Amino acid sequence: MQVTVETVEGLERRMRVDLPSEAIQEQVEKRLHELVRSIRLPGFRPGKLPLKLLRQRFANQVEREVFGELVQSSFAEAMAERSLRLAGSPRIEPEVHPATQRFGFTATFEVLPQVELVPLTGHVVKRPVTEVTDADLEMMIERLREQRKTWVPVERPAQSGDRLTVSFTGTLADETEPFAGGTAAAVPVEIGAARMIPGFEDGLIGVGTGETRTLNLSFPDGYQRADLSGRAVRFEVTVDVVAAPELPAVDETFARAFGVADGDVERLRADVRANMARELKTRLQARTKEAVMDLLAGSHQLEIPKVLLAEEVRGLKEQMRESIGAPIMDLPDSLFEEPARRRVALGLIIGELVKYNGIKAEPARVRAAIEELASTYEDPKEVINFYYADRKRLAPVESLVLEDRVVEWVLSQVTVEDEEISFAQLTDPASVGTAGT
């Protein structure tokens, strides 16, 4: 077997392999002799089919099968001999010339880059630290009260936080008839919720039940309806009802509404605090992991195989479709390339760290992770048995545990600075990702 490999561009390689025709013919003859014993043709007894007839009928088919198998085995052998790591499926172009007894193929493919691990000593990772305080607990109880609030009609002018039931007619500037979709009745409008166009909600402060108010506004630039974007509009709004929010008391009824069967308010508080503590632990770990991944990604410069980047982009698109739960327009790949590039790079870096340092996802750690996950379910044992009933179900958990072990290893190599942060800051989506290296 003669093999030549050339670099096309970047990580792309072209391999030319010439296969020995003698080996192919030897395999073909061997299989034809095996077929004599097994094949059945009308007019011939089993095992008595003339080899000449068999060769006439099946030689080409057998030759194709042998050639295909040799392509696979020889390609794998050539890759191993040259220590090339395949990044994706190769593109194979057969070269078969029976007349001249020349057999071979050309394979075009990308290889994985060599990952040169850099020392992490001297780098700093800021690790957020906090705890659930009594004030945090009370803030969460208030959020739960907000979830259960009711609306009570009031006989006073509307104020921020009220919910109005309104009817309105919208007319664009320089037009006399309402625009399409600009008329509605019995629409709930919560002042301060920022669900209407700018100025609509605030413009209703001070209005009373039964009153009509004119609002001269403008649709914002980039509005979801292009025909309305940036255009001036006048709304005639009639208020049918002004209702104020009424929060429930934190009592037995309130506790039962959140799953505390006996209505014990202190038990509710304990349950809420425990849930907050679990969320806190998860978010602290996530923020620390993000800081570690930022460090790894920023410290290593890798050339990314195009095939892996394309696969990751497709995966991110699919995740978005699943999260939305409905068909979406085909967004351009460019929107996903940066996060996809980061994920591919981190996968290669982590893989090299794991191999070089012998990092493992120990079974005891995997078991502990599954037990912690199962503890949030009504029947933890059933969840644990579910995972261990099928080896494939353990794989995602093992990957997460392995990542956690990598994070631990990195933290052991760098200087870790604890950074005080409040529970509110940590759980506010706008603050996620602010911890740096």
CATH number of the domain to which 373 belongs: 1.10.3120.10
Q: What angle do CA 43, 45, 50 make, to 5 degrees?
A: 80
Position 345 scores a pLDDT of: 96
The rounded distance, in Å, linking the Cα atoms of 201 and 22 is 85
- Structure-block tokens of residue 158: 């509307």
Q: Do 87 and 213 lie in a common domain?
A: no
In the predicted structure, residue 382 carries a pLDDT above the cut 50:
yes
Position 347 scores a pLDDT of: 95
Residue by residue, DSSP assigns 270-325 as HHHHHHHHHHHHHHHHHHHHHHHHHHHHHH---PPPHHHHHHHHHHHHHHHHHHHT
In the predicted structure, residue 183 carries a pLDDT above the cut 70:
yes
Number of domains into which the chain is organized = 3
Mean pLDDT of 400-419: 96
Position 233 scores a pLDDT of: 96
The DSSP element (H or E) to which 134 belongs, if any, is helix 134-147
Cβ atoms 137, 276 nearer than 8 A: yes
CATH number of the domain residue 104 falls in: 3.30.70.1050
Mean pLDDT of 188-202: 95
In the predicted structure, residue 379 carries a pLDDT above the cut 70:
yes
Cβ atoms 189, 196 nearer than 8 A: yes
Do the domain assignments include residue 417?
yes
Mean pLDDT of the chain, nearest integer: 89
Which of these ranges, 23-32, 53-62, 96-105, 403-412, has the smallest mean pLDDT? 53-62
Position 27 scores a pLDDT of: 73
Cβ atoms 285, 130 nearer than 8 A: no
In the predicted structure, residue 429 carries a pLDDT above the cut 60:
no
Do the domain assignments include residue 143?
no
Mean pLDDT of 226-255: 96
Position 22 scores a pLDDT of: 75
Q: Do 281 and 407 lie in a common domain?
A: yes
Domain range for residue 363? Answer: 124-135+264-431
DSSP label at residue 422: -
**Percent of the chain with pLDDT strictly greater than 70:** 89
| pLDDT digit string, tens, across residues 269-327 | 999 999 999 999 999 999 999 999 999 999 999 999 999 999 999 999 888 888 877 66
Q: Do 416 and 276 lie in a common domain?
A: yes
Mean pLDDT of 348-365: 95
In the predicted structure, residue 239 carries a pLDDT above the cut 60:
yes
Q: Which residue has the higher pLDDT, 63 or 8?
A: 8
Do the domain assignments include residue 258?
no
Position 30 scores a pLDDT of: 76
Which of these ranges, 33-47, 307-321, 388-402, has the smallest mean pLDDT? 33-47
Cβ atoms 127, 295 nearer than 8 A: no
- Domain end, chosen from 246, 273, 301, is at 246
Name the pLDDT band for 260 (thresholds 50, 70, 90): very high
Mean pLDDT of 36-43: 61
Bridge partners of residue 111, in order along the sequence:
86
- Structure-block tokens of residue 237: 């709004």
Do the domain assignments include residue 10?
yes
- Domain end, chosen from 189, 220, 246, is at 246
**Radius of gyration, alpha carbons of the chain:** 34
Which of these ranges, 66-75, 206-215, 255-264, 342-351, has the smallest mean pLDDT? 66-75
The rounded distance, in Å, linking the Cα atoms of 355 and 402 is 11
Q: Do 231 and 297 lie in a common domain?
A: no
Q: Do 96 and 202 lie in a common domain?
A: no
In the predicted structure, residue 174 carries a pLDDT above the cut 90:
no
Mean pLDDT of 132-143: 95
Polymer length in residues for the chain: 437
In the predicted structure, residue 53 carries a pLDDT above the cut 80:
no
Q: Which residue has the higher pLDDT, 404 or 28?
A: 404
User: What are the φ/ψ torsions at residue 108 (nearest 5 degrees)?
Assistant: -110, 130
- Structure-block tokens of residue 281: 């632990």
Position 48 scores a pLDDT of: 59
